[in-house]
Structure 1
Amino acid sequence: MRPESPDPSDEGRRTEVLRIPAFRLFWTATTIRAFGSSIANVAFQVLIVTVVAATPFQIGILSALGVAPYLFLGFIIGALMDRWNRQRTLVLTSIGRAVVLAAVPILLLLDRLEFWSLAVIMLTLGVLTLFAHSAEQPFVPQIVPRASLVSANARLGQSETVAGTAGPAAGGALLTLVGAPLIFVFEAVIHAVSAILQSRIRVTESAPAPRAAGRHIGHDIAEGMRFTYRHKTLRPLALSVHVWFLGNSIVATVFAVFALRELGMPAWAYGIAVAFGGVGGFLGAIIAPAVGERIGAGRAILIGRSLTVVPWLLLAVAPLSNATNIVLLVVVVSIAQFLFGLAMGIEDANEISYRQAIAPDAIQGRMNATIRTTNRIVFFFGALGAGVLATWLGYSVSLGIAAAVFAVAALVIVFSPLRNARHGEGEPSAR
């Protein structure tokens, strides 16, 4: 693939990515869709509880449907993304999501929205989102120079963080003002606009090499796994992020219950603490390019991994309870969330950019799918185990175990060649 811009001569120097027409269109489409998704998530939660009146078991099923496509289709779709036109995939998935979201207000107006129809909608959106995510990561290196990948991913991370922080509040307000049907009409329009913007990106995608006789998609998937887990720096990167997802599955399952039930934080206080996580993530994404350029990709990722240990260790050992002064409680939990967001902001942009730069284009889809799908398999089973862990050992001990798991993720990098990796070194992407 080769975009009409930027000029290939820019390959060795960092470019302000929003000046690149192709990336500007991609970033705009991604940003408005991120805000829309954050608003839609709130609306879906309200529909599940109020309109569908789902039982706890049904809520669990609906939540699992968001992850299920990765478990069953992640590797396959990743392999397809090395043979399909990625831009066309992005456009079609945006159109598909617009159509699916437009069905929600129709079902609401006809009073036909019930558990099974909502389950079909959630599963369909999950599959379409999986296709879109599988196309996005290998597409970015084709519309920006290698030297600007960290900046590009940092911009995308900033948008995701702001959307994740402001979107739920906006969703709650819009839900009150205009109601669920109009919100989903708005969501459908956002995805339609996103499709138009994506279709305007000017990039030429080369056809993949013909598959050799006797080979099938299973061979393609195996090749992607071999490339990922035999590569001297991608292997420790993949193993480290898998371990990180195990730790994250614990905190994602335990933290909200710990804060709201164990510490007795009121909803407004919990909301403030979570918002500080968004602030930290935004700041981390801002400084990520400078950190990666100054100390190298490997050490930037290591800083993020190491910093992740601190907030959960703090919450595990701090003498907090529902009798703690509310101001002190908000301060401590907010600091923990800020540090967690900061760590993710620093490491995400550097990690994704390094993966995009180190892998040839012909295997980008499979390499990303290998890592992303395994991450979600680890998260799925880790979340199930985290519930048992919290029941047996309590919330504080569970958070302490999560901190230890995050420490292991950092140690994987410390004792590997990835520690000294820098952006721009290693095998260049095939273009």
Structure 2
Amino acid sequence: MDEDAPPTKKPREILRHPAFAFFWTATTLRAFGSTIAGVAFQVLIVTVIAATPAQVGILNALSVVPYLFLGLVVGAWMDRGRRQRTLVVTTIGRALVLAVVPILVLTGVLDFWSVAAITLALGVLTLFGDSAAQPLLPRLVPRSSLPAANARLGQSQTVAQTAGPAIGGALLAIVGAPILFVVDAVIAAIAAVLQSRISVSEAKAPPRAAGRHVGHEIAQGMRYTYRHPRLRPLAISIHVWFLGNSIVATAFVVFALRELALPAWAYGVALALGGVGGFVGAVVAPGLGVRLGAGRAILLGRVLVVLPWAVLAFVPLRPDSGIGVILAVVAAAQFVYGLAMGIEDTNDISYRQSVAPDRIQGRMNSTIRTVNRSVFFVGALLAGVLMTSLGLPVTLGIGAGLFVLAALVIALSPLRGARHDSSSRS
């Protein structure tokens, strides 16, 4: 799809765009496969290799490490390479890596080091796949349809995250962990076939000037992102949001299960309500983006996300408050949390994709994503220190305060008045 094609007055249903239909279907299948296999991974880590808490932390860190070391380089490559081809190759690679897991399990050679290698390999493949997918989307649909396209992707992602673990748990009880990895490998193979069917015209990057190398291109992407009058506050706000989110996400599970003594089933119900909120947010996000404008829709999401964590931090809940009261408050908080993310994610990503020229999409996205992962990594470690020294409610309150700061960055910047249909591509 030509990026300069004029938008129609009445855009057709986004899934009627054949290229996007293949893209969405493949992305949805991969999301379900990942969440289903995630259950099997957790079981293997705990029961088969009996990982220690330190080893679990190492495995979690390995999934982020590729972004820290390769994120900016891969983003620069995506502005020169074939994004669709990269998407297909990485999905095939995922299928092959997943197919190795049941072989290791059945032969009895699965151990911590092999799981670490698999986790690292999947992290690298996910990095390449994500770096290709985000800048590819604006080539598949008119830029005026990006909010609708991202909303569809957000809806299916939320459904996968909500229903996937339940499906994975049921399949795990019926067929066992090795078969779940086979299922995910087959799903990835089908997704690769669908991705190969995407019809897209990708612009060819001009030859690199003499004396220039990938480092110059990375620096150019960073300069573009942080000098742009509207992308700069958006990027800074996202980074602050990620810091706050890393703190509350790390503290919430301990707060709910230990501080409030919430039963496991009730904790699962609360998380499911978060998924429902995310789905609702993704459904209403495009309409809010049209009525309020991209900037104010993002700001609405940033403001809403403060509420659930402020409530959990300051409402005096105790284990003796009663399971009904605790579950009602925690589930409502998770619903609003998911709702806020559904609203802001769709408008945030869509605005980024619409404002940046195609030639720098990969570097702009990778710059923001790499800093986000770095911030999340630091925030998760900081959360442990805060929980130990200040307690869980105060830690959640600090997270809420960071969300307030993220909202203020938007409210006090030119981004507040930005609209999807008037995005500059300078």
Whether TM-score is above 0.5 comes out as: yes
Separation in structure 1 between the aligned mates of residue 63 and residue 210 of structure 2, nearest angstrom: 36
1:148 & 1:113 partners in 2: Cα distance?
Answer: 46
Q: Say which of 245, 248, 265 aligns to 1:248.
A: 245
**Cα contact 1:273–1:334 (8 A) shared by 2:** yes
Kindly tell me the number of residue pairs found equivalent between the two proteins: 426
1:329-365 alpha-carbon deviations (Å, 9 max, x no partner):
1000000000000000000000000000000000000
| Identity fraction in percent | 66
1:224 paired residue number: 221
Aligned to 2:392: 395
1:28 alignment counterpart: 25
Give the unaligned 5+ runs of structure 1. none
Does residue 408 of structure 2 align to residue 408 of structure 1?
no
Correspondence for 2:82 among 68, 80, 85: 85
- Looking at structure 2, the residues matched to 339 and 112 of structure 1 have their Cα atoms a distance apart, in angstroms, of 44
Kindly provide the CA deviation profile for residues 307-329 of structure 1, in whole angstroms up to 9, marking residues without a partner as x: 00000000011110111110011
Q: Is the 8 A contact 2:279 2:339 kept in 1?
A: yes
Q: Secondary structure at the match of 1:204?
A: coil
Deviation at 1:394, TM superposition (A): 0.4
- CA displacement, residues 256-291 of structure 1 (integer Å, 9 cap, x when unaligned): 000000000000010011110000000000000000
Question: Match of 1:15, SS?
Answer: coil
1:371-420 alpha-carbon deviations (Å, 9 max, x no partner) = 01000100100110110001000000110111110000000011100000
Which residue pairs with 2:290 in the alignment? 293
Letter in 1 for 2:298: I
Residue 347 in structure 1 maps to residue 344 in structure 2: yes
**1:167 aligned onto 2:176:** no
What pairs with 1:15-414 in structure 2 (closer than 5 Å)?
15-414=12-411
Note if contact 2:143-2:354 (Cα within 8 Å) is conserved in structure 1: yes
Q: CA deviation at 1:9?
A: 4.6
Name the CA distance, whole Å, in 2 between partners of 1:406 and 1:413.
Answer: 11
Q: Post-superposition shift, 1:11?
A: 5.3
Per-residue Cα deviation, 1:33-52 (whole angstroms, up to 9, x for no partner)? 10000011111000000011
Contact 1:14 1:145 in 2 (8 A): no
Q: Report the RMSD for the aligned CA atoms in angstroms.
A: 1.2
Match of 2:415 among 406, 418, 427: 418
CA contact (8 A) 2:351 2:423 kept: no
**Distance of 1:114 and 1:11 partners within structure 2:** 56
How far residue 206 of structure 1 moved from its aligned partner, in angstroms, is: 2.1
Distance 1:277 1:250, change over 3 A: same
Cα distance in 2 between the residues matched to 1:72 and 1:202: 32
SS in 2 for 1:203: coil
Unaligned runs of 5+ in 2: none
Deviation at 1:366, TM superposition (A): 0.2
Specify the SS of the correspondent of 1:424. helix
Q: CA deviation at 1:108?
A: 0.8
SS of the residue 1:8 aligns to = coil
Distance, in Å, in 1 between the alignment partners of 2:304 and 2:91 is 36
Alpha-carbon displacement from aligned partner over 1:95-131 (angstroms, at most 9, x marks no partner): 0000000000111111111110111000000000000
Residue type at the aligned position of 1:275? A
Matches within 5 A, 1:5-16: 8-10=5-7, 13-16=10-13
Deviating more after overlay: 343-352 vs 7-16 = 7-16
Once residues 82 and 29 of structure 1 are traced to their aligned partners in structure 2, the CA distance between those partners, rounded to angstroms, is: 22
| 1:40-82 Cα deviation digits (max 9, x unpaired) | 1111000000011111111111110110001111111011100
